[in-house]
Structure 1
Amino acid sequence: MLTRSITPTLQRLAASFPVLAMTGPRQSGKTTLARHQFADKPYVSLEDPIERAFANEDPRGFLARFTQGAVFDEAQRWPDLFSHLQGMVDADRRPGRFILTGSQQFGLLAGVTQSLAGRVGMTRLLPLAASEIPAVADRQLSLDGLMLKGGYPALHTQPVEPADWFASYIATYVERDVRQVLNVQSLPTFQRFLRLCAGRTGQLLNISALASEAGITAHTAKSWLAVLESSDLIHLLPPYFRNFGKRLVKMPKLYFLDTGLACWLLGIRSEEVLALHPLRGALFENWVVSEFIKARYNQGQPSDLYFWRDNNGLEADLIFEQDNRLQMVEIKSGQTITSDTIRAGQRATRMAEDEALTPWLIYGGDESHERSGVKIFGWRDFPAAIL
């Protein structure tokens, strides 16, 4: 059982709310974590047709078995559960009584907000962060190996090749689940769309151009992107828009929440290919951004991350607010710090002037130090700085 950074957040919310809900992508470890952290509660999978049939035919009899609480896995499979739980928790507000897991795009979030508002603590569990992977701490995994493998727990606990696992994951979960929601008629078109998204990782998202290249309408592309985002497979990073004037880029940037999945979609199957791939820099930036997002979600916070780029080319790869000031982050995949790299970190603060904290520079090397007014973090060290 891998140690998950979200555990203190789960314990805190379970001590405050009668219902705790955990969403996230398929195979991110929701079921394993819920069963481990709440081992004293009965576990029920609502994907089990027998349990689901019992629940639909006799909901009172079904729930009578769990008056002291339970873990309901894939809770969205029984939509009536949420309204039944509302009555149960209103009658007995003991904290941490019911644990729900599921996927947002299948109605878990809608059911929670409609019936359990004010009664539920919400969490999101993404694939493993670097700080949760033992092979990173033990220095057994290189940066390219980590980006290629990604963070899905099965790839770090089972003897399976990433290429084999991702092929199965795409076919078994992504294509099946997304097609169920979107009623996709042409699977090859959707597969092409996924690969085109991977090719745009770390780039400004021009939906019209993406749709045209995929052979679909812009409306369809927006719909597909929305489902991929609610499935926690991609993240659309918005531009920062406060205080810096109006001459700014308004399109979001597209990132995958797992670099291993992005690598697989791009056809990258080995560290040797990744090391020379033209998108390696974008994939490193993708990995850094996803680490920040995971850290925020593990702490029970919204992502609240942004980027900045104006029409004159001034940019910051990542911006977030801290202590009413702005933290600028520059991301470089190279293993060597040069004077140009330092200047890039310094430029990131110019737009914010007195609002900016000391800029961060995260790069693909190993050393961490401060130089010329820039805090430099090697890729192994920076995850600890954001926890």
Structure 2
Amino acid sequence: MIPRNISKAIYRYAKSFPVVEITGPRQSGKTTLVRSLFADKPYVTLEDPSERLFAEDDPKGFLARFSEGAIFDEAQRWPDLFSYLQGMVDEDRQVGRFILTGSQQFSLLAGVSQSLAGRAGVTRLLPLASSEIPNLSASSLNSILITGGYPALHAQTINAQDWFASYIATYVERDVRQLINVQDLTTFQRFLRFCAGRSGSLLNLNALAGEAGVTNKVAQAWMSVLQSSDLVYLLPPYHKNFGKRLVKTPKLYFVDTGLACWLLGIRSEEVLALHPLRGALFETWVVAEALKARYNAGEPADLYFWRDNNGVEADLLYEKDGMLQTIEVKSGATVTRDYIKAGQKAAKFAGDEALTPWLVHGGDDNYERNGVDVVGWRNFAERIFK
């Protein structure tokens, strides 16, 4: 098993809460991780029809087998589980007793908020961060972008293109049909591809709906499904007013660049190197790395961007000790004067509240230049939030 950075946070929650819940996209490694961390607990998947039927027909008999605790995989498949666990943990508040996993964030969080509020520690496992990828030092940036971080692609010899094709087919058949009644799966997949083409851009649901040939209401519902299954992330604009007319629309990002590349038809590093969306895909990778670092530490995302009506922006920012860390992202391997100016502009909104701005680029150089901290892509994950 590939060691996961989130393990410390999960253990921390298991020492504080009776229930620990781990959400995340399918195939991000949730089951492998919890079965390794809690090898002494019995394991049951609620995607097994026989187990689910037992639970629905005789809930008390089903749970009597697990009075000392258990791992319940894909817990959202039996919604009544949360109510029954509430009664069990109220009788016995032993910490780390039950471990829940699931690939539908909204369903799991709804169950926790309704029945397990104050009783469950919640965290999220995304695909591998760059610091978790084996032999990262021997990999090129393009290979990382096109492969992405799903563990199966780094733990075994497998054709990435075949794997992503199967992943999308399975995702659409299982998750989409469980969450909403999609009549035309082909149209949904087309919508998904259009989203991949807009990764790194301001979210424009009207345009996406028009391109896919669906109503705005349908597009909004489908976007919620993509968020629920952790395929996309909406980066919110910074909420404070610095006296500028700032954009209030979130930006759309895919959580995994490998999946985005596959949806865009990018099948080789050579094609990616010349692709017009390479810069957007690199920005997508940077935002996803920051998101993974937050979740792996057991923290909320608390990530933002800002952009004014003249297009001046910070691609990414977060608060640190009452100050603001701004991050400008450039995919080029060579740091130019324009890159440095962009990094300087990114911090101007914050004024005295700004920390030394970062410029994350597609090369390996790390140094400070004209008040900008230049950070190579390999070093970004190590430095973020330090």
Aligned mates of 1:210, 1:48 — CA distance in 2: 36
In the other structure, the counterpart of 2:232 is 234
CA distance in 2, matches of 1:24, 1:336: 35
Give the aligned length. Answer: 385
Q: Is contact 2:106–2:228 with CA below 8 Å preserved after alignment?
A: no
Task: Give me the whole-angstrom Cα distance separating, in 2, the residues matched to 1:73 and 1:377.
Answer: 39
Cα distance between partner residues in 2 of 1:175 and 1:333: 35
* 2:66 matches 1:72: no
Q: Which amino acid aligns with 1:242?
A: K
- Between the aligned partners of 2:178 and 2:12, the Cα distance in structure 1 is 35
Extract unaligned runs of 5+ from structure 2.
Answer: none
CA separation in 2, counterparts of 1:176 and 1:64? 29
The correspondence for 2:329, drawn from 322, 328, 331, is 331
- 1:90 and 1:253 map into 2 onto residues whose CA distance is 41
**AA partner of residue 159 (structure 1):** T
Letter in 2 for 1:41: K
Tell me, in whole angstroms, the C-alpha distance in 1 between the residues paired with 2:147 and 2:310: 37
8 Å contact kept, 2:23–2:105? no
Deviations 1:134-188 (A, max 9, x none): 121xx22111000000000000012111110000000012343113322111122
Within a 5 Å distance, the mapping from 1:205-284 to structure 2 comes to: 205-284=203-282
Do 1:233 and 1:256's aligned partners in 2 also have CA atoms closer than 8 Å? yes
User: Are 1:312 and 2:310 an aligned pair?
Assistant: yes
SS in 1 for 2:252: strand
| Residue identity matched to 2:266 | I
1:285 aligns with 2:268: no
Give 1:111's aligned residue: 111
- CA RMSD for the aligned pairs? 1.1
Deviations 1:30-87 (A, max 9, x none): 0000100000111111111222222222222211111111111111111111111111
TM-score (norm 1): 0.97
Cα displacement (A) at 1:246:
4.9
Aligned to 2:122: 122
Alpha-carbon distance in structure 1 between the residues aligned to 2:8 and 2:236: 29
Matched AA of 2:206? S
Q: Report if the CA contact (8 A) 1:166-1:264 is conserved.
A: yes
Name whichever of 368-377 and 162-171 sits farther off.
368-377
- Could you say what secondary structure the match of 1:381 adopts? helix
SS at match of 2:360: strand
Shift of the alpha carbon at 1:105? 4.7
Residues 363 and 378, structure 1, Cα contact 8 Å, conserved in 2: yes
- 1:82 paired with 2:82, answer yes
Contact 2:202/2:252, CA 8 A, preserved across alignment: yes
More deviation, 41-50/10-19: 41-50
Deviation at 1:106, TM superposition (A): 6.6
Q: Which runs of 4+ in 1 moved over 6 A?
A: none
In 2, distance between residues paired with 1:252 and 1:83?
A: 35
Find out whether 1:166 has 2:164 as its counterpart.
yes
Letter in 2 for 1:179: R
- Checking the alignment, whether the CA contact within 8 Å between 1:204 and 1:252 is kept in structure 2 is yes
SS of 1:10's partner is helix
* 2:359 equivalent in structure 1: 361
Q: Which amino acid aligns with 2:119?
A: R
Which residue of the partner structure matches residue 43 of structure 2?
43
Question: Which region of structure 1 is more displaced relative to structure 2, 45-54 or 111-120?
Answer: 45-54
**1-side partners of 2:178 and 2:55: how far apart?**
22
Distance (whole Å) between structure 2 residues aligned to residue 354 and residue 226 of structure 1: 37
Counterpart secondary structure, 2:248:
coil
User: What code does the residue aligned with 2:15 have?
Assistant: A
Unpaired segments ≥5 residues, structure 1? none
